[in-house]
């Protein structure tokens, strides 16, 4: 699949919101939150475009005091799934986090989100914790982590 990945711009907001509203059934980011995240210095928002149209996005938080990056959200338009777009976004997120000297990427995923769990496991993310009652409907979150630069937990660099 040929998709291009670039930083999100303010004029992507409509497209991001449309993806958010069709890809998620709850716990959606609002237009206002998306706008703030796009402009935030401690966040990187990336979009994947397919023939210039925004097909997916990923937002990663890069807290200055934390060497672990947090994948805050990732979504692909439902009519563009299954073509490797989320995988490409994950690789771009990891590259961006690595360039900014982060040692790992962490994320939370709903325990019932089999597609996303398969995506993360296929891309080398390792489950390290579970949080009860994490989402608005009480669903637990599974926490995943991927070490960057090929350094595994417990291994010396």
Ligand X SMILES: CC(C)(COP(=O)(O)OP(=O)(O)OC[C@H]1O[C@@H](n2cnc3c(N)ncnc32)[C@H](O)[C@@H]1OP(=O)(O)O)[C@@H](O)C(=O)NCCC(=O)NCCS
Binding site for ligand X (CB under 6 A): 23-24, 74-76, 81-87, 109, 113-116, 118-119, 122
Whole-Å CA distances, 31 to 11, 22, 34, 61, 122? 12, 14, 5, 18, 31
Find how far residue 98's CA is from the centre of its chain.
Answer: 15
Least distance from ligand X to the Cβ atom of residue 150, Å: 21
Least distance from ligand X to the Cβ atom of residue 148, Å: 19
Least distance from ligand X to the Cβ atom of residue 44, Å: 17
Q: Largest alpha-carbon pair distance within the chain?
A: 45
Specify the residue, 26 or 154, whose C-beta has the smaller distance to ligand X.
26
Specify the residue, 95 or 151, whose C-beta has the smaller distance to ligand X.
95
Rounded to 5°, the CA angle 64-49-101 comes to: 20
Least distance from ligand X to the Cβ atom of residue 154, Å: 26
Least distance from ligand X to the Cβ atom of residue 114, Å: 6
Specify the residue, 15 or 76, whose C-beta has the smaller distance to ligand X.
76
At residue 117, φ and ψ (nearest 5 deg) are: -60, -45
Specify the residue, 85 or 148, whose C-beta has the smaller distance to ligand X.
85
Taking CB atoms, the residue at the shortest distance from ligand X is 115
Sheet bearing 104-110, strands edge to edge: 4-7, 43-50, 53-61, 68-76, 104-110, 141-147, 126-131
């Amino acid at each position: 699949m040929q998709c291009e990945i670039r930083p999100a711009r303010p004029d992507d907001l409509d497209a991001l919101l449309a993806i958010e509203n069709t890809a998620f059934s709850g716990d959606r980011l609002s237009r206002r939150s998306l706008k703030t995240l796009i402009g935030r210095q401690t966040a990187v928002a990336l979009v994947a475009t397919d023939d210039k149209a925004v097909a997916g996005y990923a937002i990663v938080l890069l807290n200055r005091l934390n060497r672990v990056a947090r994948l805050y959200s990732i979504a692909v338009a439902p009519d563009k799934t299954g073509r490797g777009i989320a995988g490409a976004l994950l690789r771009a997120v990891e590259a961006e986090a690595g360039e900014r000297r982060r040692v790992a990427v962490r994320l939370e995923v709903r325990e019932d989100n089999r597609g996303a769990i398969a995506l993360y496991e296929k891309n080398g993310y390792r489950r390290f914790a579970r949080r009860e009652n994490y989402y608005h409907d009480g669903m637990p979150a599974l926490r995943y982590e991927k070490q960057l630069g090929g350094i595994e937990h417990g291994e010396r660099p």
